[in-house]
Structure formats: C-alpha cells, structure tokens
Amino acid sequence: MAQGRYSQVDGRKSSTYCSTIPIVIFITFCFVGIWTLMSSIVPVQNSDLIYQEAVNPTVTENSYRQFKDSFGSFPVDSTNGDGNTRNDQDRVKMESGNIPKNNQHKVVTIQNPDSEQTESEEGLDENESDWVEGEKKPKTVESQDGIKQEDKVLSETVREMIDKNHDKHLEKNASENGIKIEEKDWVSELLHAGAQSKLLNNTTPQNGAWSTQAIESENEKESQQSSITMNLSSYSWKLCNATAGPDYIPCLDNWQAIRKLPSTSHYEHRERHCPDEAPTCLVPLQKGYRRPIKWPQSRDQIWYRNVPHKELADFKGGQNWVKVTGEYLTFPGGGTQFKHGALHYIDLIQKSLPAIAWGKRSHVILDVGCGVASFGGYLFKRDVLAMSFAPKDEHKAQVQFALERGIPAILSVMGTKRLPFPSAVFDLVHCSRCRVPWHIEGGKLLLELNRVLRPGGYFVWSATPVYRKNPEDSGIWKAMSKLTKSMCWDLVVIGKDKLNGVSAAIYRKPTSNECYDERLQNEPPLCKESDDPDAAWNVAMQACMHRVPVNASERGSRWPEQWPQRLEKPPYWLHSPEDFTADYNHWKGVVSQSYLKGMGISWSSVRNVMDMKAAYGGFAAAMKDLEVWVMNVVPIDSPDTLPIIYERGLFGIYHDWCESFNTYPRSYDLLHADHLFSSLKKRCNLTAVIAEVDRILRPVGKLIVRDNDETIGEVENMAKSLQWEILFSYSKDNEGLLCVQKTWWRPTEMDTIMSAIA
C-alpha cells in the first residue's frame, strides 16, 4: 500500500523524505571534497610559489601604479591538459620529467629549487655521474589515466578559489581608495612587455623617431626572409657535423666563405661570415662534459673536460694565464703584463691615476685582447663591469675559458669593421699587450677605440713600447706619441709596476672640440657630418674622428652619474624619463616577486645571463644584487636603446638573431626573451633561432620567454621536441609566460654542415 500511495503522486516521494536524502548526500560529498582538497594542496610545498597576496592595506591613487608593478607573483590557473595542445582557457602548468612520446596527460609537479643538485667545494658531489652525458630524471607517480586525482582537484577547485580570493582582495583595496580595477590588471602587469610595447610609439631620446641598428648601419647583411612552414607537433633534430665539433660557431666557422676571402691581412678571416641559411642542427656536447663549477670558485678553476684545450697552458704557462692541474684547468690570476696577479695590477692603475676611481667614475670598461679575461674577472672585486673580447684564433678557447669561469666575454676582432657597440659608451678602454698595431694605416684601429670611448674617458696601454727601449718598441712608441697627439689625446701619466716589471701609459680623450679646431693639419680627419657614429652593425671602420658633443642636452656632453646612482637615474639626455622609471619599477617587481620565487630556478647555480631583447636594461638592473652578470642584446631591428643601457652602468651588444651569436656553445646559464620570437618569425626561421638558443645554453640552463600566446605555443612545442623540461607555462588574454630547462638529450642522427668543413 505504501508503494501504491507514493506511486500516485507522479512518482515523487513526500517532502520530508525528499529533503533528508539529498542533504545526507550533500554533506557526504562536502566531507569527501574537503578531504580531497586538503590532500591536493599539501604537496604544494610553498604557497608563495603559486600565489602571493599583495600586502598593502591602503593603496592611494598615486601609489596604485607602483602597487600593480610590485604585484609580480604568478597567478594560479593551474590545470592539467594535453601537452601539445593550447587553447583559450587560462592555465598554469608546472611540469618536470622527460617529454612523453604520445599525448598522454602528464603529472603536474612543482619544481623546488632547493632540491636541485649542488656542487661540493671542489665542484660536484658523489652523484656527479648522474649529470655527465645524461638526463636528470625526476620521479613521478601517475594513476592509470596518467593524472593524479589530487591534481585534478587542484586544477579545478583551487584555481577558482584563488582567483576569487585574489579578485576580492583587489576589489577590497580598490573600494577603500575609490579605484576601479579591471580583472585583467594583475595579469597584464605580469605579462606585459615593459618598455618593449611602448618604444615604437613613445617620445624620443633626443630628436626625431627612434632609430634601429638596421637603419643606422648601411652595410649590414640582408635579413633572412625564409618563410616558416612548420608542424608544431613534430620536429626532426639532428647533430651538427662540423670540423669545430662541440665548439661550432656558425658565423665564425664558415670555411667556405673564409677560403674565398681575397685577403686576410686585416684579420678578415676572424670576422663574421654567416652561412646563407642558419643551421637547424644541435651542437654535440664535449665528451665527459659536466655542470660548470659555481662562481666564485669558477674564477680560479674549471673542469678540463668542459674546455679540453691545453695549448694555451703550454704556450702561456710561464705567464700564469692557465695551467692543467689534474681534472681541472686552474687560473692563477696572471697575464702577460701582470704575472704576479691581476689585482695588484688593477690597483696600480688607480694608484697611478686616482681620478680613474674604479667602481665609481669608471664602472663599464672595454678590455681589448682579453686573453682568459683575468683582468675582467678580478675587476668584479672593484665593482667594475668589463666587456672583454678576443678573436677565435691560434690561442684556442681563450674566450671560452673566460665564459666557463663566469667572466663576461665575446668573440670579436679589431679587423675591418666597427665593433658592435654604440659611440661614446665605455668609461675606460684597456689594452694589456693586446697585439693590436694601433699606429698603422692612419691609426684606423685606435680611432675605432676613440669612437666607443666616452669624452673624458681613459685609454690604458701597458704594452712593451711603453717601457722597452729596443729599436722596434722605440719606433712604435714614437709613432703612437705622434698619433695620440694628433687625436688630441692627453698623455696623463705613465705608471710603473716594479713587481711585474712593466709600465702603463694612461691617455685621456678630450671633452671639447677646441683641440680639433686648432690643429694645423686635419690628420686624422674629422668624420663627415653624415657619418653616424652609432651605426655599428657590419659597418666598415673609418680613419676619422667624430666631433665631441657639446650641447648640454646631447648624449656625451656630460659624464654619467657615479655608480651605483647611475643605475636608477634616467639619463639627462633622455626625453622620456617617466618610461625609463616605469620600466625599471616593472622589472623590479617581476624579478623579485616572480622570477626569483616562482620559476623553479636555483639562482645560486646561475652566473652568465643574457637578455636577448633588452630595452632600457630594466631586467638586468633588477638583477643587480645577484651574483650574476647580464649581457644585454639590442636586436638590429629594435629601437636603438643600447646607449641608455651603457649610460646606466650596464653593458650590451648589437645583434641580428637571424644569425648566430659570437660566443661558444654552452656559454650561458639563463636566456631571457621578452617579445623577441614573435618579431623574429616575420623574417627568420624560428627553428634555427631555437637551435641557436640550444647552442648557447648549457645543459640544465633555463630559457624564460614572454610573448603572445601563439608564439609561446610554438616555442613550448619546440622545447618539448628537444626533450626540455617545461618548468612553467602560463597564458591569458593572448599573452604568455614560459620557463623551460634544457636537458642533456642529444640526437644521434648527423647533419653535415658543408660550410663548416675545413
């Protein structure tokens, strides 16, 4: 009867029964949900890695922009998903381990920087074999469908919870101060390009529109116009087969082009000769390669197997350049002119001329013919940043030694073309027996140094003609004295180093044009007014001098602020100081709140850093307090902001990323690319660019990419095809952020590069 009674009410039960059962079920699901949620959150070791709430209870209208800039921690939209598919949904992925061969879902883990393997005092610990020519393989546990149940909950529930809490936090602060906040503000501050998005439209540094190196340099190589047709889900990588092997540098090892040179008398064979098509193969590792020793120990010793060249040790052993000591190459700190140590020599220079003021007035210098760069390495102790360079010549691997030691250096030569730097940017130029014939051919090479030296800057020359009296050296000294006088350089002092038995002549570049105008003979001649002193990419050297800027608003008319004040103060000649300041504040927030805390990067293992598309140098400036140095690269098709970077006490170089960079393989620990790859796709083969990134990065090195969502997807897919680890991937509103880590993987199939066969 009971059943009959219930069946007569359209199959519905009484209201009491109806309310009881669902409530029981609902409560049960709540308890299960809470238990599941808590278990999913526990593995997240540090909530700050995912989300950091801005602690600022009162935000005024004036400080709101600063509030946005400082809020650089990562938003958490954490989901699992197909590793090869990107869609319009917001997401954060933190992945580790090898890339699967199919499209299975992967375990989402959070990379803990503290868990990364560290070296002992002598380099590496007992587990070193795990890092030699192999991959670090993190442990993961998957369910049958490849996804942890906890991660499913994290991807759905926690994401919504954090987003809602974050929105409420911003709304509360905004309502208290009468500020309207859009939901996208906190994301856009994390993802926006800083100065990159404004440079083409904002005010100019002096007069006229922003210029680029491509426009300034009339003789540059034509940009590659290769169209890109790529399958984002499939790439075929091969190993480069070149005579240089693991040391292959495409634009310096082009033997086809070198053999065709009509002359090598001006070191044309040491200059750049890029192949017609940028290679897309991967450079092999040195046999027995290990993770580099950390700074500062690396200044004094490196692994021999990483740079297995002892020719320089045999040739320069008596001058304390480098020695082979068991499995290490050791660097006693000496050089040809300072056999008893670079630091003594550095202090002698300042003692001879206190006005040099290392680390204050003189902060960014150029070291010509640097050898193994011990001079630049020890200048760090005096708070000086040295751009060291030397050619790839018979002194095998001297620049490679420097980079392996953690000392800034590039491959370049005083040949027929201008150095890849703007005019009037170096506080001091140093040449310690650098074997450059400054006095010949009208002083063309010394005039190139005059171009890059600041008015009022110093040239330190400690070569044998300064202190030896034999006929050859005496003749060179006489010619140099005549040349420097005609250039209006003032010989300030000749300092004597009794310990090393050498002397250093110190010259000063003029700060006005009076001497130029009073010369009886116009030799060397003044450059034509049409000659742009800042044009430096593939531009032939000229045996002439540019006039010194004297207008108070012109760059070069005044000396920069002393270090470190110059880092944060906009240059006096910059007409958009507010953009400079905003860019600096932006990068300080992003670096401190995001890069240092949420990327899974062990910064104690990072030394050599490159910003592949620097604007004002804000990224590098924000890294000032870390034990790193940053090579700021201004692409030739970007606004020419490199003078700004030097003015604030940093350094950098011009480059075309359609070609290889002048450095050895495995030179950098971290590369940073802010909206670079999307612009390169228009004129370069992006696969070749990523192959170059792989060449430059060390195993376990990191690449941080900020770009539009489409480009992030392409780079992420290529990184996966290279079997790199995806440490972090996030996208929203067509902007994305990606952090990947290079592994030890190398392909087995070879690709013979005919241009690189000697």
Average pLDDT of span 657-667? 98
Average pLDDT of span 263-289? 97
- Count of C-beta atoms within a 10 Å radius of residue 39: 14
> Where residue 310 falls among pLDDT bands split at 50, 70, 90?
confident
Residue 144's contacts (CB-CB under 8 Å, 6 or more residues apart) are none
Residues 580 and 489 in one domain: no
The per-residue pLDDT for 173 is 40
Does residue 380 surpass a pLDDT of 60?
yes
Does residue 732 sit within a domain?
yes
> Where residue 681 falls among pLDDT bands split at 50, 70, 90?
very high
- Count of C-beta atoms within a 10 Å radius of residue 147: 18
Residues 469 and 585 in one domain: no
Q: How far is CA 27 from the centre of its chain?
A: 54
Q: How many CA atoms lie within 13 A of 120 on its CB side?
A: 6
Average pLDDT of span 455-477? 95
Q: How far is CA 362 from the centre of its chain?
A: 23
Q: How many domains would you assign to the chain?
A: 2
Average pLDDT of span 674-687? 96
Does residue 66 sit within a domain?
no
The per-residue pLDDT for 28 is 57
Give per-residue pLDDT as tens, 6-62. 333 333 333 444 444 445 455 555 555 555 544 443 333 333 333 333 333 333 333
Q: Contact 579/195 with Cβ under 8 angstroms?
A: yes
Residues 499 and 584 in one domain: no
> Where residue 522 falls among pLDDT bands split at 50, 70, 90?
very high
Tokens of residue 24, six digits: 């029981």
Residues 344 and 275 in one domain: no
Report the distance separating Cα 626 and Cα 601, nearest Å: 13
Residues 346 and 482 in one domain: yes
The listed range with the strongest mean pLDDT (69-73, 132-136, 259-263, 500-504) is: 259-263
Q: Are strands 91-93 and 725-732 parallel, antiparallel or unpaired?
A: antiparallel
Report the distance separating Cα 631 and Cα 399, nearest Å: 15
Domain boundary among 453, 483, 518: 518
Residues 495 and 580 in one domain: no
Residues 475 and 623 in one domain: no
Does residue 320 sit within a domain?
no
Residues 375 and 502 in one domain: yes
Give per-residue pLDDT as tens, 163-197. 444 444 434 443 443 333 333 343 455 666 565 64
> One-letter amino acid identity for 239?
L
Give per-residue pLDDT as tens, 603-640. 999 999 999 999 999 999 999 999 999 999 999 999 99
The per-residue pLDDT for 545 is 98
Q: Which domain does 456 fall in, by range?
A: 338-405+425-518
The per-residue pLDDT for 11 is 38
Residues 364 and 492 in one domain: yes
Average pLDDT of span 262-267? 96
> Where residue 216 falls among pLDDT bands split at 50, 70, 90?
low
Does residue 634 sit within a domain?
yes
Prediction pTM value: 0.78
Mean pLDDT of the chain: 78
Domain boundary among 487, 518, 549: 518
Residues 256 and 346 in one domain: no
Does residue 394 sit within a domain?
yes
DSSP tag of 115 = G
Domain boundary among 518, 536, 559: 518
User: pLDDT higher for 119 or 608?
Assistant: 608
Report the distance separating Cα 676 and Cα 224, nearest Å: 16
DSSP, collapsed to helix, strand or coil, labels residue 433 as coil
Q: Contact 546/532 with Cβ under 8 angstroms?
A: no
Give per-residue pLDDT as tens, 121-167. 333 433 343 344 434 433 333 333 333 333 333 333 333 433 444 44
Residues 744 and 624 in one domain: yes
CATH number at residue 485: 3.40.50.150
State phi, psi for 25 to the nearest 5 degrees. -65, -45
Does residue 535 surpass a pLDDT of 90?
yes
The per-residue pLDDT for 31 is 58
Residues in the chain: 758
Residues 692 and 577 in one domain: yes
> One-letter amino acid identity for 556?
G
The per-residue pLDDT for 61 is 34
Does residue 173 sit within a domain?
no
- Lowest average pLDDT, out of 104-118, 346-360, 557-571, 610-624, goes to 104-118
Give per-residue pLDDT as tens, 541-587. 999 999 999 999 999 999 999 999 999 999 999 998 999 999 999 99
Does residue 350 sit within a domain?
yes
Does residue 194 sit within a domain?
no
The per-residue pLDDT for 711 is 97
